[in-house]
Structure formats: C-alpha cells, structure tokens
Amino acid sequence: QICKGINGLDKVVLRDVRGSSVEVYLYGAHVTSWKNEHGEELLFVSSKAIFKPPKAIRGGIPICFPQFSNLGPLEAHGFARNRFWIIDPSPPPFPVNSSNKTYVDLLLKPTEDDMKIWPHSFEFRLRVTLGPAGDLMLTSRIRNTNSDGKPFTFTFAYHTYFSVSDISEIRVEGLETLDYLDNLQSRQRFTEQGDAITFESEVDKIYLSTPTKIAILDHEKKRTFVIRKDGLPDAVVWNPWDKKAKSMADFGDDEYKHMLCIEAAAIEKPITLKPGEEWRGRQELSAVPSSYCSGQ
C-alpha cells in the first residue's frame, strides 16, 4: 500500500477493482492523483511542482490549515500542507452499510516547534476514500486536545486543482448570485451576477455561504466534475492566468489553461473548538460524463 514517490517521498495508492485510483503523499497528506476507471488523470499537478519540503506540492489537493491564505499571522495556507503526516494503522471503521470502500487515514499532531508558531494541541485525522464508483471523498476531523482549557480558532480549505481541457471553455455552476470577497480587490465584497461562472482573466474569489453542490462543466472533455461538501460553507475559485503564472517558479507559464481551483472552505466564519470538541469537514468529488453542449 505504501510506496516511494518522487524524491523518495512516501505515498499511499488506493485502487478499486474497476481501475480507478488515488495517490496521497504523507508529505502534506497531499492527494496528487485521482484517476478514473479509464486511467485518465482528473487532478492537475504542475510539471514544475517541487516535491521537496518545505515547499508545498503545486497541484492535487493541498490541505490549508490552520489558516487559509494570508488571513492571519501564519505562513500562507498554514502549515498542514508541508508537514509529514503518519498513517493510522488501525483507523476507526466506517459506519454500517458503507463497507465497500477503500480508504486510508492520515494523522497530524503538532510538534513542539509547531506549537511555537501556533500554540495549540490538536489531532487532525484526514480520511481519503475511493468510493465504488471512483468518487474521491476527503473527510477531515480536527479535535482540540489542548490541556490548558483554551479554545482555538482556524480557517480551512481543500485547495483542489482540477484538470480541465481549456479554462476559456469551462463553466462553473452553483455560485451564481452569491456574494464573494475578491482577493484581487482588497477582499471587497461583491455579488455575482446571475450566470454560470466563465473565465477570461485571473480570478481569486471567496464565494460565501454557497450551496453544498458545485459543478464544473468541461464541454471539450465531455466531463462534469461535481463537488459536494459538508461543513464547508465557502468556496474559493482561483486561476492565476498568464501573468501570475509566470511569476510562480513551480508553475508552467501556460499551465493555467489546463487547471482550475475550486476550494471547499470555511473562511468567512472561522471555526472555534473548545478542548475536547471536534470539527468535521467533508468534500466528495465525482467526475461524470456529460452531455452538456454550450448554447446548443
């Protein structure tokens, strides 16, 4: 189950009988591959990604915790994405009726050094599950294990990079008419107009209190990604476009055309946990053949 990935980093590969698979690095508990039963890669990972600590892997599904972006004193997107997680050798079982699944549980607990930058004790359990239909489920359980009686507060995101045929042809449904904070305009609040989201320039927006289902329609690949989320009210939409792409050392100049980040997140209302309390945030991804034809 565990094997060596790029630069000798450990990774776990989950496979199901129909041929779909998921690959997760212990470094960052970072999903770097999700393939359907035809062996097609559904996630984007940059050809320039640096698989070397402390750099987070560019692509796949970075975990942003305990801070989204630079909305606080910690490094951008927090530290969970550049720590080494461990595998739980005896994870708790699934609820009844859901035995037909392949999964791995990864655990993160803070080191003494971590507690110097974020003085809280926690246990973070990430369950990565490959469902029978090739769906990818990520369930995070974060527990406050502080013994000093203190609560802690965090923000969170599954920073999923979807692989798309051509960003200019993509439509995102489920975010129309919502309020968002625009990271490119000092996080001012705006309201989205009534149409599906399309892309023609850099975008970096935090959509607030979204529906639990968001769809990415890729007409050229005849594929629709469906994101279902629970405990994660917000959704970030990010594409760096050409200029920003060129400024990133671990991202190819033209790769922005073939990726789109939709990030199930809890940002606007940070989560507070008292000692002993646990928070759960879940995202379920499926990729379904679509018969969608734009305007036809």
Q: How far is the CB of 136 from ligand BG6 (least distance, A)?
A: 19
Using the rule CB under 6 A, is 135 a contact of ligand BG6?
A: no
Q: How far is the CB of 122 from ligand BG6 (least distance, A)?
A: 21
DSSP H/E element including 113 = helix 112-117
Residue 31 near residue 13 (C-beta atoms within 8 A): no
Q: How far apart are CA 34 and CA 43, in angstroms?
A: 6
The gap from C-alpha 107 to its chain's centroid, in whole angstroms, comes to: 17
User: Cα dist. 57→86, 140, 225, 284 in Å?
Assistant: 17, 19, 22, 21
Q: How far is the CB of 294 from ligand BG6 (least distance, A)?
A: 27
Question: Is the Cβ of residue 30 or residue 77 nearer to ligand BG6 in the bound state?
Answer: 77
Among 30, 125, 159, 257, binds ligand BG6 (CB under 6 A): 159
Using the rule CB under 6 A, is 52 a contact of ligand BG6?
A: no
Q: How far apart are CA 43 and CA 61, in angstroms?
A: 8
Structure tokens at 261: 């980040």
Q: Which amino acid is at 256?
A: Y
Q: How far apart are CA 52 and CA 224, in angstroms?
A: 32
The gap from C-alpha 244 to its chain's centroid, in whole angstroms, comes to: 20
Concatenating the DSSP letter of every residue in 260-282 gives EEEEEEEEEEEEEE-TT-EEEEE
Residue 260 near residue 160 (C-beta atoms within 8 A): no
Which residues share a beta bridge with 227?
Answer: 214, 285
Site string for ligand BG6, 272-291 (x = CB under 6 A): --------------------
Q: Which of residues 84-123 bind ligand BG6 (CB under 6 A)?
A: none
Q: How far is the CB of 204 from ligand BG6 (least distance, A)?
A: 5
Q: How far apart are CA 135 and CA 185, in angstroms?
A: 35
Annotated active-site residue 40? The verdict is: no
Look up residue 68 and give its DSSP letter. Answer: -
Residue 36 near residue 121 (C-beta atoms within 8 A): no
Q: How far is the CB of 65 from ligand BG6 (least distance, A)?
A: 13
30, 77, 219, 263: the active-site residue: 263
Give the interface size with ligand BG6 as a residue count (CB under 6 A).
10
Q: Which of residues 245-264 bind ligand BG6 (CB under 6 A)?
A: 263
Question: Is the Cβ of residue 58 or residue 223 nearer to ligand BG6 in the bound state?
Answer: 58
30, 159, 219, 255: the active-site residue: 159
Using the rule CB under 6 A, is 236 a contact of ligand BG6?
A: yes
Among 105, 135, 204, 234, binds ligand BG6 (CB under 6 A): 204
Question: Is the Cβ of residue 77 or residue 125 nearer to ligand BG6 in the bound state?
Answer: 77
Annotated active-site residue 263? The verdict is: yes
Structure tokens at 16: 């199901």
Structure tokens at 54: 């402390």
Using the rule CB under 6 A, is 77 a contact of ligand BG6?
A: yes
Using the rule CB under 6 A, is 30 a contact of ligand BG6?
A: no
Using the rule CB under 6 A, is 238 a contact of ligand BG6?
A: yes
Where does this chain touch ligand BG6 (CB under 6 A) — which range of 69-77, 101-109, 111-119, 140-148? 69-77
Radius of gyration of the chain from its Cα atoms, rounded to whole angstroms: 18
Q: How far is the CB of 244 from ligand BG6 (least distance, A)?
A: 7
Residues annotated as catalytic are 159, 263
| Binding site residues, ligand BG6, CB under 6 A | 56, 69, 76-77, 159, 183, 204, 236, 238, 263
